[in-house]
Amino acid sequence: MITWRIGTVLSTGKRWRGATELTITLDRPLTLTPHDPATPTRPVHEVRALAYTHLVGNPEPGDALLVNVTALARGLGTGGYALVIGPASRLGEPLTDLPADPPPGPGHLVKARYTPLQTMVLGVDEQESPHHDLLRDADTLHDMPVVVADLHSALPAIIAGARHAAALAHQPPPRIAYIMTDGGALPAAFSRTVAALREAQWLDTCITAGQAYGGDLESATIHTGLLAAHHVSHADLAVVVQGPGNLGTGTRWGYSGVAAGEAVNATATLHGRPVASLRVSGADPRPRHRGISHHSLTAYARVALAAADIPVPVPSPPVEAMPGWGAALTERLRAQAGGLGPSPAAPAAAPADVPATPHRLVDVTADEALVETLRTSPAGLRTMGRGLDEDPASFVTAAVAGVHAHSLITRPTA
């Protein structure tokens, strides 16, 4: 079901690649009924809206827009926008200048299929693509390291870790491809993180896989996205993470991050080096996410059928002394990680489910220099509303996955 409104543009705000923020006033008030029953309902007339400019054009002040306010009405954090469906009128007059038809061109891959905003793109591997012959029989990543994570917020931290390792080794920053899966947001333009990383040249390529769309390259599956990262983008390493907006129901299997285990399998199938980044928190109020989140434990212990490297941070004393960390968290994290590794007897604090194929636990030093590199990220570091200084373990654990992945890069000898 969809909650509809007509909104009139009051002003335009931030712009980034493929998207524009707007402030709009609604034709009738919207009663916000938050997902959290403890939060009171309230009517609003003026809201933030988001227009994907490559789909709906460039709205201007005074334009009337048809908007979808469904997620906004429920107070969902990621969906906290009115999403522009299309223009309704301009300056009070019936609209006669809809966005122009796209020019004829190759591409027949339909994404967001059979929804009102389905879009057609050129798939990197489809028959009309210049890369089709290259990818038609491609079957290996030639040991390219692939970091897999659950939350989109891990992406800039993973990249920071890889760049940090390169700087320590006096090497140029690695070429990094991001494969955005469709577990969260479908449009790549929704991610200001990707836009900031691309603009700062921390990220070389964004590849949108499955129903996700709007990347530099489009792929039908994670598998073809990974192959494109290696064979087309010539990436040194790839990162596979869903777009913004993790879906979760508070159950073992009901969350979109379960796909992280499938990404491990895809990487191993294609002869890559899977690196499983742990979702960790020392500040999340929900017990199931403190230490190693149950999301990571389920994805890597139950879904991943292939062995992956699992980097575990070894914090220096100043890092362990940061707010939200502490010796107790380090102990808990290591005990939980022990259940994912080759130990014959899982510790008491480990998950009940031990993977059939044990993963390889890798200790990685996490010192103050790594934290300082995280602070240089061109994309804001936020996870579940918390920043680096509020929940350092979350970002540091993602960063050590990037550090380890960099150590797996194989470069041709002269």
Q: What string of DSSP letters covers 78-132? A: TT-SEEEEEEEEETTEEP--PPPPPPP-S--EEESTTSTT-EEE-BTTSTTSTTH
* 344 in the same domain as 266: yes
- Helix axes of 368-375 and 154-168: crossing angle, nearest 10 degrees: 120
Strands (E), 285-393: 291-292, 309-315, 360-366
Percent of the chain residues past pLDDT 90, beyond the cut: 66
* 398 in the same domain as 338: yes
Please indicate, yes or no, if residue 138 is contained in any of the structural domains.
yes
Amino acid at 302: R
Is the pLDDT at 217 greater than 70? The verdict is: yes
> Which pLDDT tens digit goes with each residue over 193-211?
999 999 999 999 999 999 9
Domain boundary among 61, 92, 123: 92
Is the pLDDT at 414 greater than 60? The verdict is: no
Strands (E), 243-351: 273-276, 280-281, 291-292, 309-315
What is the spatial distance between Cα 260 and Cα 326, in angstroms, rounded to a whole number? 28
Is the pLDDT at 230 greater than 80? The verdict is: yes
> Which pLDDT tens digit goes with each residue over 281-340?
988 878 777 889 988 999 999 999 999 999 999 999 999 999 989 999 999 999 999 989
Please indicate, yes or no, if residue 108 is contained in any of the structural domains.
no
φ, ψ dihedrals at 189, nearest 5°:
-65, -15
Please indicate, yes or no, if residue 140 is contained in any of the structural domains.
yes
Please indicate, yes or no, if residue 56 is contained in any of the structural domains.
yes
- The pLDDT assigned to 78 comes to 56
Q: Which of 14-28, 169-183, 363-377 has the lowest mean pLDDT?
A: 14-28
Tokens of 314: 């070894």
- Residue 237's H or E segment, with its range, is strand 237-242
φ, ψ dihedrals at 296, nearest 5°:
-65, -40
> Which pLDDT tens digit goes with each residue over 232-288?
999 999 999 999 988 888 788 888 889 999 999 999 999 999 999 999 998 887 877
Mean pLDDT of 154-171: 98
Tokens of 189: 């333009």
> Which pLDDT tens digit goes with each residue over 34-68?
656 676 777 889 999 999 998 888 999 999 999 98
Mean pLDDT across the chain, nearest whole number? Answer: 89
Query: How far is the CA of 365 from the CAs of 184, 314, 369, 385, 397, in angstroms?
Result: 31, 5, 10, 26, 10
* 313 in the same domain as 260: yes
Is the pLDDT at 348 greater than 60? The verdict is: no
Neighbours of 196 (CB within 10 A): 18
* 334 in the same domain as 216: yes
> Which pLDDT tens digit goes with each residue over 95-154?
555 566 667 778 888 888 877 777 889 999 999 999 999 999 999 999 999 999 999 999
Q: Tell me, what CATH number does 12's domain have? A: 2.40.50
The predicted model scores a pTM of 0.86
Tokens of 13: 């705000």
HSE (side-chain half, CA atoms, 13 Å) at 277:
39
* 285 in the same domain as 147: yes
* 73 in the same domain as 194: no
Q: Let me know how many helices (H) and strands (E) the chain has, helices first.
A: 12, 18
Please indicate, yes or no, if residue 412 is contained in any of the structural domains.
no
* 151 in the same domain as 70: no
HSE (side-chain half, CA atoms, 13 Å) at 85:
15
* 313 in the same domain as 189: yes
* 275 in the same domain as 144: yes
Quote helix, strand, coil % in the chain, to nearest 5: 30, 30, 45
- The pLDDT assigned to 73 comes to 79
With a CB cutoff of 8 Å and minimum separation 6, the contacts of 19 are 50, 51, 52, 53, 187, 189, 190, 195
Strand 42-52 with 82-90, pairing? parallel
* 166 in the same domain as 78: no
Domain boundary among 63, 92, 121: 92
Q: How many domains does the chain have?
A: 2
Q: Which domain holds residue 315?
A: 132-407
Please indicate, yes or no, if residue 98 is contained in any of the structural domains.
no
